[in-house]
Amino acid sequence: MNQALLLLLLLLPQQNDGSRLTGHVPPAALPGVQAIITRAAQDSLPTEPLVEKALEGGAKGAPPDLIVTAVGAEEARLRTARDLLRGAGAPGPYATSEIQSVSLALARGLPDRIVSKVVGAVRDTAPGFALHAVADLSAHGFGQDSSASLIVAALKTGLTGHRLLDVAAAADREVQRGSTRMQALAKVRAILPAIPSQPVLPGAMQGATRPKKGGG
Amino acid sequence: MTHDLDPRIHRALDGELDRAALTPEERALVERLDAAARALSDVPPVPGLAHRVMGIIRRPFESPLERFRRWVTSPHPVTVSLRPVYSVIIAVLFVALLWRTPETGPLLAEHEGVAQFVARFPEAHSVAVVGPFNDWRPEATPLSDDDHDGVWDARVILPAGPHEYMFVVDGERWVADPMAGKYVDDGFGRQNAVMEVQPVRSE
């Protein structure tokens, strides 16, 4: 009886995933995608990012084999992200958004060792903003190790969450003012944690709508 | 068809005026009217007359919807009895709601923020933003260009954190936001733009 219930619980989300995919993903890609989703669910990985990747491929008109490949690559990244969180001693269980943000940081080109270093430095909060602050710096030409060091230093001064993005933005502004990248990192590190925050524009909510998933 | 009856005749028929005071012509008219009244009272009642008359003058059939519309649109006196303390509480809640609305809006959860998507496509007839947040459906989140200057925008409430997205121009051309500055390979041979959504309420 208990086994039947467990099987039902495992199958239910897959059926929902399947119904979301039908009509939006080429039929030829469905078996391969479904197999990956089933494997991920059995390994307690989040399946929503896999469904989204398959829907993305369908919407972009990608060929079926490429959709299966992309969903498989997404699953591998999610697995690596979950393992990096575990390895860094981040307290579980991990939310889908948490694993997904680490996975996206990997997709943006951060190597495992940098992700481990940053995740290990983040305590009691999700590492997404810290990782993407490092990824932002890296994308603007800063060295990955020195970028990670700056963000870890910022974490130690008590800055968390989206304020870490302000740190990356501050370093970028120093470069725009004429500093070399090394000088910019040093200047920002010297004023931590007094980093100016980006203002929230008044009326930011006006006309904002909440997007809907799974329509038609 | 109606006839105006001479008030003197009327009063004589009601017994308010002595018939001796009437002229011979008036007295003759009164007597004819008396005779007609007596003749009518002697006629036996027609069977079913009352039913037929009521059938003619009965209100036409009204559906429940029509009755409801009539009830809603006709005036009714409404009396509300409220203790003053409740009036004060309602007023305070109303003011608090108005106070919060312009700043963040009551709809945002703690870790949500507003993503503002802005794109310049002067020749476009339609622009939409797509991403995992709307299952990549071009019809889900259109941008608007109310002043027709070629700058399209939309504000979307999203969970705080990084989000991949693309623009879809005229329903068929997929474009990574050239102003995003952050991109990631999409696995399909293109790049998605990446936007960091900051929570409106600080952590």
CB contact under 8 A, B155 and A209: yes
CB contact under 8 A, B199 and A162: yes
Mean pLDDT of B102-120: 75
Q: What is the predicted pLDDT for the residue at B201? A: 56
Phi and psi for B98 in degrees, rounded to 5?
A: -65, -35
- Among chain A residues, CA nearest to B113: A205
Mean pLDDT of A95-107: 90
CB-based contact (8 Å) between B104 and chain A? yes
CB contact under 8 A, B137 and A215: yes
B83-101 exposure pattern, b = at least 16 Cβ within 10 A, e = fewer = eeeeeeeeeeeeeeeeeee
Of the candidate ranges A194-208, B101-115, B133-147, the one whose mean pLDDT is the lowest = B101-115
Chain A, 82-101: which have a CB under 8 Å from a chain B CB? Answer: 97, 101
Check whether B106 has a pLDDT greater than 70.
no
Q: How confident is the model at residue A2 (pLDDT cuts 50, 70, 90)?
A: low
Check whether B105 has a pLDDT greater than 60.
no
Question: pLDDT per residue over A103-157, tens digit each?
Answer: 999 999 999 999 999 998 886 677 888 999 999 999 999 999 999 999 999 999 9
CA angle B142, B137, B195 (to 5 degrees): 70
Q: What is the predicted pLDDT for the residue at A127? A: 87
| Residues of A with Cβ-Cβ distance to B107 under 8 angstroms | 205, 210
Chain A, 12-41: which have a CB under 8 Å from a chain B CB? Answer: 20, 24
CB contact under 8 A, A57 and B159: no
Q: How confident is the model at residue B142 (pLDDT cuts 50, 70, 90)?
A: very high
Q: How far apart are CA A179 and CA A195, in angstroms?
A: 17
Mean pLDDT of A43-70: 96
| Residues of A with Cβ-Cβ distance to B187 under 8 angstroms | 53, 57, 66, 69-70, 73-74
Check whether B47 has a pLDDT greater than 80.
no
Q: What is the predicted pLDDT for the residue at B44? A: 73
More confident call, A68 vs B200: A68
Of the candidate ranges B60-69, B167-176, B190-199, the one whose mean pLDDT is the lowest = B60-69
More confident call, B51 vs B59: B51
Looking at mean pLDDT, say which of A15-19, A164-168, B49-53, B63-67 comes out highest. Answer: A164-168
Question: pLDDT per residue over B25-45, tens digit each?
Answer: 888 998 888 888 888 777 776
CB-based contact (8 Å) between B107 and chain A? yes
Q: What is the predicted pLDDT for the residue at B108? A: 73
Which of B133, B188, B202 to mutate to test binding with chain A, by most A CBs within 10 Å of its CB?
B188
CB-based contact (8 Å) between B203 and chain A? yes
| Residues of A with Cβ-Cβ distance to B110 under 8 angstroms | none
Q: What is the predicted pLDDT for the residue at B152? A: 96
Residue A137: both structure tokens together: 């710096």
Residue A66 has a CB neighbour count (10 Å cut-off) of 15
pLDDT over 90 for what percent of chain B?
A: 36
Q: How confident is the model at residue B203 (pLDDT cuts 50, 70, 90)?
A: very low
Check whether A8 has a pLDDT greater than 70.
no
CB-based contact (8 Å) between A198 and chain B? yes
Q: How confident is the model at residue A62 (pLDDT cuts 50, 70, 90)?
A: very high
Q: How confident is the model at residue B80 (pLDDT cuts 50, 70, 90)?
A: confident
Exposed / middle / buried, residue A172 (Cβ in 10 Å: 0-12, 13-18, 19+): buried
| Residues of B with Cβ-Cβ distance to A210 under 8 angstroms | 107, 156-157
The residues facing A157 across adjacent strands are: none
CB-based contact (8 Å) between B99 and chain A? no
Check whether A6 has a pLDDT greater than 50.
no
Q: How confident is the model at residue B74 (pLDDT cuts 50, 70, 90)?
A: confident
Average per-residue pLDDT for chain B: 84
Closest CA to B143 of B158, B125, B126: B126
B133 to each of A49, A58, A93, B52, B163, how far by Cα in Å?
Answer: 11, 15, 23, 70, 8
